[in-house]
Structure 1
Amino acid sequence: MSALSRTRRQILELAGAGAATALAAGLLPSAAFAQNVPMADLMKPGALPDIWQGKADAPCTIIEYASATCSHCAHFHEATYPALKSKYIDTGKVRFTMREFPFDPLAQAGFMLARCAGDDKRDAVVALLLAQQANWAMTEKPLQGLTTLLRQTGMSQETFEACLKDQTLYDNISKVRDMGAEKFSVKATPTFFINGTKVEGAVELAEMEKLILPTLKS
């Protein structure tokens, strides 16, 4: 079965069961500092290249594992990420990347389409998917909602359909998720690694600063 037909079948099943099932995955806004993970392990190349924001030599590195259908991920990117970006990423203090951790086939499809938009547009497409969850992840026809959203980015219907047929991309996004789960014990989204310290939940900037600020002291 092709990736396209499989994705469409699973999306239809998901819609029939209620799209809220996908949005239930994740953690409520709260900080939970957990074990440290060696940065050398976190930075090993995965199945897909990381798309970084910020300076390569920034003193603090933040890796986020997120799902495109996770409402708590959407909350973080609406409420906390803009301040994190303007205060720390854009000023060269933090290097940031988001890694795909889809909880359901609908999120998998969204991430595939974001990758197919190109490395220079991946983050913008993910931001659009998170901001517009109600217009695709919570609808009776999610594939149609995705088509409408991706059309806004300039993606043609031909590219859209070809992307969802890309078995290698489908498998590689699954490998990124599996590595996060198996190697770093990611169990819910959003999960962050701030210079190797695991933080779970849609945390506020003040909580993240408890780990960011010490790295900025010379």
Structure 2
Amino acid sequence: MKLTRRFLLAAAPTTFFLPKAFAAGGMLAPRLMGNPDAKVKVHEWFSLTCYHCARFQKETFPRVKAELIDTGRIAYYFHEFPLDQVALLGSMLALSLPNDRYIPFCEALLSSLDRWAFARDVDPVQQLRQMAALAGISGTEFDRINADNKLRQMIVDTQDRDQKRYHIEGTPYFRFNTIEYKAELRSYDDFLKEVKKAEA
């Protein structure tokens, strides 16, 4: 999808680090999973309403996590790149969660796009409210986050900066160290090839 991933509190534990900028208070710093000292650093820009991102999360990312992230071979950074207002609210909610709930929340949204974002006669905002509650965000907190136009604008500004810097044309968009990959990564083998190129 041109310019068009990540179940909640019960998710399995994983190695998850805070980048220094986030630890210092930078809420919008990309979340990091894996070994921060790994030779290969993979960056993914994703939108929570992108079917291609959802497919990658469902079909490829589990093996990437098991064989490359959990083994310490790569560091994996997640960047918000919302492509519509619903995805933007999802990003605002995700970034407001504690670090250990960020990826499970994104996974839950991406794995159920057809039910909460695109189903007929469904209000995506109300669906987000229900899923956020499962992640520990109360109704009052949901309303506060939804009304936080400063956070909303900060995400959009970060997205605009990244788009101009890397010429991002669609999601998911990847960088393997300094090597960009714009096509859709359809398999683990394709992903591994890019890791090996970055290792060379």
| TM class by smaller structure | 0.7 to 0.9
Distance 2:142 2:168 in 1: 29
8 Å CA contact 1:93–1:216 kept in 2: the answer is no
8 Å CA contact 1:65–1:99 kept in 2: the answer is yes
1:124-160: CA deviations, max 9, x gaps?
2111110111121113311111111111112110111
Aligned length: 178
Within a 5 Å distance, the mapping from 1:50-129 to structure 2 comes to 50-129=30-109
2:188 corresponds in structure 1 to 205
SS at match of 2:77: strand
2:131 corresponds in structure 1 to 149
Which of structures 1 and 2 has the bigger CA Rg? Answer: 1
Compute the TM-score of the two structures, normalised by the length of structure 1. 0.76
Distance 2:3 2:117 in 1: 15
1:163-204: CA deviations, max 9, x gaps?
111122111111221112101100100110011111124312
8 Å CA contact 2:47–2:82 kept in 1: the answer is yes
* Alignment match of 1:178 (pick from 149, 160, 177): 160
* Alignment match of 1:188 (pick from 149, 159, 170): 170
Distance 2:184 2:110 in 1: 13
Distance 2:138 2:184 in 1: 33
8 Å CA contact 1:73–1:202 kept in 2: the answer is no
> Is 1:161 paired with 2:143?
yes
RMSD: 2.0
Structure 2: gaps of 5 or more residues: 5-20
Compute the TM-score of the two structures, normalised by the length of structure 2. 0.82
SS at match of 2:131: helix
8 Å CA contact 2:176–2:198 kept in 1: the answer is no
Q: CA deviation at 1:123?
A: 1.6
SS at match of 2:168: coil
- Larger RCO (alpha carbons 8 Å, 6+ apart): 1
